[in-house]
Chain A
Amino acid sequence: MLYREALNRAIDEMMEADESVVILGEDVGRYGGSYRVSEGLFAKYGAKRVIDTPIAELSIVGNAIGMAIAGLRPIAEIMTVNFSLLAMDQIVNHAAKFRYMSGGKMTIPLTIRMPGGVSRQLAAQHSESYETLYSAIPGLIVLAASNATYAYYGLKAAIAMNDPVIFLEHELLYPQEMEFKEQKAFDPFKAEVVKEGKDLTILTYLKMRYDVLEAVPTIEKELGISIEVIDLNSLRPLDMQTIAASVQKTKRVVMVEEDHKTGGYGAEVIARITEELFYTLDAPPLRIAGEDVPIAYNRKLELASIPTPEKIVSRIIAWGAKHGI
């Protein structure tokens, strides 16, 4: 199943089951969505439930919040996380806080979908990863879908939630064909142990999951160790239970993220691990992250500013040699 098809199926099924579910955003209607996620929904549900909006992010989220207050269950699509900064006031000051400001009397059952990350040569203004911003806001739930299974079940769960959810996608994943695994019981807040191992835990999310999985066999061979790979899935709340179980077993942890290193999401994860699991660590945690630069347009420079499978291999091997692996 294509990643974007999984998202489409999730939205379609939720709209079918509950007529309070509506979708709004730029080009989500007649055009079928910038990444074809809402394809076919306009024809099926009509202009009242699949709403094309002006190119004005603040109004998209503002309207969606109004709809949510009035009893609808809106899904707002922002074309990329880069543009969501325009809607920041509505997201942070209103969506995240309304439940608390009303003493719990009103909830905002809103899902804001947006793709982020480094695609191919979209340059600095279209290549950011802002999970670190949204994960720092109490009142928001932040989910990151790296695969078709989580895209489908995670998005359905997000739409069903009564609190505002930032649902992060990745631009390079939309056209990817992925394995879809039927889930009997699904917990959107649970991290996925993608591969089991006993000597090192690699934590990752979104597109980096695939770069990590590509790098792992070489690292395992070079260092003679076995590696556990965990896809975090839920960034806020963070599934510390799954992380702790793994780190207690492996005693070493590496965080791989596409986001910039300084103040990136991995900084929070590693801080939590250091605080809570310090005495189980046998090596200082390693962060492999994007460089602290706006992402360049030039393809070579673009690749130089984010982790690649080759960089993941060489950094972990160098780190391993230094810290007793």
Chain B
Amino acid sequence: MEYKITMPVLSDTMEKGKLIKWHVNEGQQVKKGDVIAEVESDKAIMEVQTFKDGVVKKLLVKEGDEVPVKSPIAIIETATAQAHAQQTPSQPKEESHPQSSTSSQTLPPELAAILPTKTKELKTQEQKETKASAVVKAVKGAASPAARVEAQKLGIDIEKLQAEQKLPKPAHLKDIKLEALKRYFTPKALELLQEYALDPSVFAHDHKIDADEVQAYIKSHNIPKTIPLSTNRLAVKSNVETAAKKPIYHVYETFTLNPPEDVKITAYLLKVIGDTMQNHPLTRAVLEDESYKIYPASNISVAVAKGDALYMVVCKNIESKNLKEIDTWVKEIKQRDYSPDDLQGSTFGLSNLGMFGIRAFDAMINKKDSGIAAFGKVDKNRVEAVFTFDHRILNGVDAAKFVSELKNNFAKGIDV
């Protein structure tokens, strides 16, 4: 008896299929499960198997031909088909017969689909089964059910790719989708898609898309690149948000400096400010609930930019260190890593942007500090400084006294 192999339905949208290659010749013996052809759907190239043993009687289409789905492409002469053929026509139009669904399950799906006596309802059932069994047969490898369905639809060989370690084991839907994208996008182009959170479907999937093409799309559509904040940036964000909530005011002053030679300007500023803080207890104060905690030490936090991070590194006990020691401290802070202890215990802050040629700026108060001094560029020993004070800790008068003594101390010389 003849067993007709039909153009398979490989996806919901497939209407026609193209015969790419025959794997058998007319007259050839075939076994159930043998691949007899390759066909191309609108999405991928798939293998077609025979569900029956037999001899290839006739190949009905040529390689390269396109035919509608479910139309016959080959005829296999089988021995066992004869039994079924006798059985089936003997039950004409038995639509509601309880046996008909059981007997149809013993038929190969292709045969059931083309038999004229089958009811419409039965056909849909058979089609569903064809789909399901095709999935199980065609897709090998470790993957989730959804990944297998997608792999089959796209013609992706999970087992092979897993053997080559190109797919994770087990593979999930997202892995298959990524694998499918690799067919159309170069690795660089894929990276760009990810960086710019671009939907791959904005590109026509009919050629290999490279980074230049993606880049051109990004430019022409002015697509922004999304960069999530690093842990460092998040820390800065949280710190300055807290600082912005403080009731602050500014004091502006121009100082005449008298720095000794061979010493970093930051070290000199730290020493003079630290010594002056000894006479102004509120600059050594931390506000806690409804009391001040006044610390004996002059501990100043210094703004240090490192990569994308901003650290407020604390120089401790300035009052009992000499300028040389502070200079050594300043010179090494850019190089080393910080312990939590390096970043706490301050009551006042210092920020210096003079090295960038900035004339004057104001800074935000670090954590619980009472204030911060922002220094601009030193020009012929003159420098502009902007002080930011926490009004809950220092009143205008307290601040004025502190800044004016600082002015005198800067003008005085200092021992190295």
Contact = CB atoms under 8 A, between A and B. Distances in A.
Contacts of A324: 144, 168, 170, 172-175
Interface string A277-294: 011111110000000000
B132 A279 contact: yes
Contact of A281 (B135, B145, B168, B174): B145
B229 to A, nearest CB: 15
A325 B195 CA distance: 20
B394 interface: no
Contact of B173 (A251, A278, A284): A251
Contact of B172 (A278, A279, A280, A323): A323
Contacts of A282: 144-147, 172-173
B228 to A, nearest CB: 11
Interface string B143-182: 0111111000000000000000000101011110000000
Contacts of B172: 282-283, 323-324
Contacts of B149: 279-280
Interface residues on A, range: 10 to 19
Interface in A18-45: none
Interface residues on B, range: 10 to 19
Interface in A242-269: 251
Interface in B105-161: 132, 135, 144-149
A282 B170 CA distance: 10
Contacts of B168: 324
A278 B145 contact: yes
Contacts of B173: 251, 282, 324
Contacts of A284: 144
B135 A279 contact: yes
Contacts of A278: 145
A237 B170 CA distance: 35
A300 to B, nearest CB: 35
Contacts of B174: 324
Nearest to A323: B172
Contacts of B135: 279
Nearest to B173: A282
A279 B148 contact: yes
A194 B132 CA distance: 33
A289 B174 CA distance: 29
Majority SS of interface residues in chain A? loop
A277 to B, nearest CB: 9
A251 B174 CA distance: 11
A324 B168 CA distance: 9
Most A CB within 10 A of own CB, among B147, B168, B175: B147
Nearest to A281: B145
Interface string B300-322: 00000000000000000000000
A283 B168 CA distance: 14
Most B CB within 10 A of own CB, among A251, A278, A279, A323: A279
A232 to B, nearest CB: 23
Contacts of A283: 144, 172
A324 B144 CA distance: 10
B404 to A, nearest CB: 51
Contacts of A251: 146, 173
Contacts of B148: 279
A138 B284 CA distance: 79
B175 A279 contact: no
B201 to A, nearest CB: 17
A259 B148 CA distance: 33
B389 to A, nearest CB: 38
Nearest to A322: B170
A283 B146 CA distance: 8
A281 B146 CA distance: 5
A279 B147 CA distance: 8
A210 to B, nearest CB: 30
A282 B145 CA distance: 6
Nearest to B170: A324
B146 to A, nearest CB: 4
A308 B148 CA distance: 34
Nearest to B143: A282
A39 B87 CA distance: 70
A283 B174 CA distance: 12
A323 B144 CA distance: 9
A152 B66 CA distance: 61
B112 to A, nearest CB: 21
Contacts of B170: 324
Contacts of A281: 144-146
B138 to A, nearest CB: 13
Interface in B353-391: none
A278 B136 CA distance: 12
Interface string A309-325: 00000000000000110
Contacts of A323: 144, 172
A147 B145 CA distance: 35
Nearest to A251: B146
A294 B172 CA distance: 38
A323 B171 CA distance: 9
Nearest to A280: B146
Most A CB within 10 A of own CB, among B148, B173, B175: B173
A242 B147 CA distance: 23
B356 to A, nearest CB: 38
A324 B147 CA distance: 11
Interface in B386-413: none
Contacts of A280: 145-146, 149
B296 to A, nearest CB: 44
A107 B172 CA distance: 50
Contacts of B132: 279
29 contacts: A251-B146, A278-B145, A279-B132, A279-B135, A279-B145, A279-B146, A279-B148, A279-B149, A280-B145, A280-B146, A280-B149, A281-B144, A281-B145, A281-B146, A282-B145, A282-B147, A282-B172, A282-B173, A283-B172, A284-B144, A323-B144, A323-B172, A324-B144, A324-B168, A324-B170, A324-B172, A324-B173, A324-B174, A324-B175
Q: Which 5 A-B pairs have the closest CB atoms?
A: A324-B172, A282-B146, A282-B173, A282-B144, A279-B145
Given A278-B145, A282-B146, A324-B144, 12 more contacts: A251-B146, A251-B173, A280-B146, A281-B145, A282-B147, A282-B172, A283-B172, A323-B144, A323-B172, A324-B168, A324-B172, A324-B175
